[in-house]
Structure 1
Amino acid sequence: MNVASAKPARSRSHIEPEDFARRLLRLFHQDGLAPGDKLSERKLAVQLSVSRTPIRAALQHLLDDGVVARNENQKWILATLPDPDPGQPTIPNDEAGGLGMRICEDRRTGVLADSFTETELLKRYDVTRTELGRALVALASDGIVERSSGYGWHFASLLDSEERRLQSYEFRIALEPAGMRMPGFRPEPLRLGHQRSLHEALVAGGYKTANPHDLFEINADFHAMLADFSGNEFIIQAMRQQNKLRRISEYATTSDPRRVLQSCREHLMIIEAVEEGDYQWASSLMERHLQTVRRVIQRNLARPG
């Protein structure tokens, strides 16, 4: 793999509050929140795998826009929920999303080094600086790339090899089904129903036109949702970290429509089992679901060359 031998010193991601605000809006929609619902800085920070500092800045940005408010106890609440991303696009824009996926795939296959400059990408992808800027801002908002201190960019720590991806799935096979067997496993009907609606729309044909970013977000929120239902903070944090790490590798799998459709159908079977209160069966279905991907990765690693 072409990785630069000397890595620049790394700094925190330079993401503007409005970018985190857009991520929060997507999260509010995915969680099925409604005006009046309470918002927890700690929970939001865990869900986005960041500290509370950027969450506070994003909430303040949304406060200025009238999207969130503070109640009589000075706690955050959702005031209104506008349509997702009605203005300036990030990854959901086809142009930015397509370029972002190419960057992710080139990193996954080792074509791109850990550190890079915008000049290098402009030469490689033959795009305008504006197009590249949109793609990088979108990738940075999703925690895939970060600005290096001083000059250039670098990829965040991610599952950028099949070996690491296999280890991740082995860990998740031990983690996720166990979370669904926890005594404190408590589903949230509204959030579960929202996920059912999203998956039914994809199975009905939406998977053919959905962009990689949206497919990943729905998939990631499905797994994060079930971890949240466990009520176990360690499982919740571990699942959030796995979602953050697997962005590059999972973006690549969304280009296979057959696998996307199969995954959505498997998710719906798990949702149905949870809705019926059969958590043991739901746990078994989750293990089978993860084992399917694990076997695919093992076959990929066994191929010569």
Structure 2
Amino acid sequence: MSTTVERTRASDRAYATLLEEIQSGALAPGTVLAEVEQAARLGVSRTPLREALQQLSADGLVEQQSPRVTVVTDIDADDIRSLFEIRRALEESAARLAAERGDAELFAALAGEFAAAAASLDATTGRDDYYALIARFDAAVDAAVDNDYIAAALRTVRTHLVRVRRMARDKPERLAASVAEHRLIAEALAERDGDLAAHATHVHLRNALTSILDSIQNPDHTSNRGQS
């Protein structure tokens, strides 16, 4: 029993490390993840490494090219469009459900935080706080929806979104628009207006996709952080 638990923990550690490295770009698309080398680098045996690679493969972040060689998958404009198609379907549905089921006072408070965030986006710490606020907003929506299937699907989408955000340019005008868009969604949720929440989510995702595609197709950027 203890051996199984230890292997699971080793697999979880390997998975977490590789996931962070893929999402951050430390392991770029096309990077070969040979079992022997990666197991030694991560300080695990090959069995938990294989389990970690299997999970990453299920996430769509790596693919197996041979029995012992796995590579980090690429992500291009078509992949991003496809990702946003499923994101749009999931998040618009989630917005409608959250408007019905959520805590109106909580979303009103989050709307106030988005309003306050607009004044601090010029500073790096302000942007960090804003991304943390988005994460708390997403968590509040997930909790309000209370649907394990939707939550699981959104976790997969968000796993890939971290890579997409890294590829996009940090544009001040897009950040400001994103704040306003999130504020409108939160206000609609606070008012229990599902139609407005879904429409505002649709507009936000359309604008985010346009900005991300512009960034990767015109890569004259100096920052590796994007908005979504």
Q: TM-score range by the shorter chain?
A: 0.5 to 0.7
Check if 1:195 corresponds to 2:110: yes
Q: Distance in 1 between matches of 2:153 and 2:215?
A: 26
Check if 1:296 corresponds to 2:186: no
Deviations 1:187-231 (A, max 9, x none): 224532442243223201245333665443322332342233223
Cα distance, 1:288–1:201 mapped onto 2, change above 3 Å: same
- CA root-mean-square deviation: 4.0
Check if 1:149 corresponds to 2:39: yes
Percent pairwise identity: 20
TM-aligned CA deviation for residue 173 of structure 1: 0.9
1:104 counterpart letter in structure 2: S
**Unaligned regions of 5+ residues in structure 2, if any?**
1-9, 44-51, 62-72, 220-228
Per the alignment, residue 75 of structure 2 pairs with 161
**Unaligned regions of 5+ residues in structure 1, if any?**
1-9, 17-99, 117-146
TM-aligned CA deviation for residue 176 of structure 1: 1.1
Q: Distance in 2 between matches of 1:205 and 1:265?
A: 13
Is 1:107–1:160's contact at 8 Å kept on the other side of the alignment? no
Check if 1:113 corresponds to 2:3: no
Per the alignment, residue 162 of structure 2 pairs with 247
TM-aligned CA deviation for residue 287 of structure 1: 0.8
1:279 counterpart letter in structure 2: G
TM-score (norm 2): 0.60
Deviations 1:267-301 (A, max 9, x none): 00111112222111111110111111223345567
- Which secondary structure state, in structure 2, belongs to the residue aligned with residue 236 of structure 1? helix
Per the alignment, residue 93 of structure 2 pairs with 178
- Which secondary structure state, in structure 2, belongs to the residue aligned with residue 150 of structure 1? helix
- Give 1:208's match in structure 2, choosing from 120, 123, 136: 123
Per the alignment, residue 278 of structure 1 pairs with 193
1:161 counterpart letter in structure 2: I
Per the alignment, residue 11 of structure 1 pairs with 11
- 1:227-246 equivalence runs, <5 A: 227-246=142-161
Cα distance, 1:193–1:273 mapped onto 2, change above 3 Å: closer
Is 1:195–1:222's contact at 8 Å kept on the other side of the alignment? yes
- Give 2:134's match in structure 1, choosing from 204, 215, 219: 219
Is 1:216–1:250's contact at 8 Å kept on the other side of the alignment? no
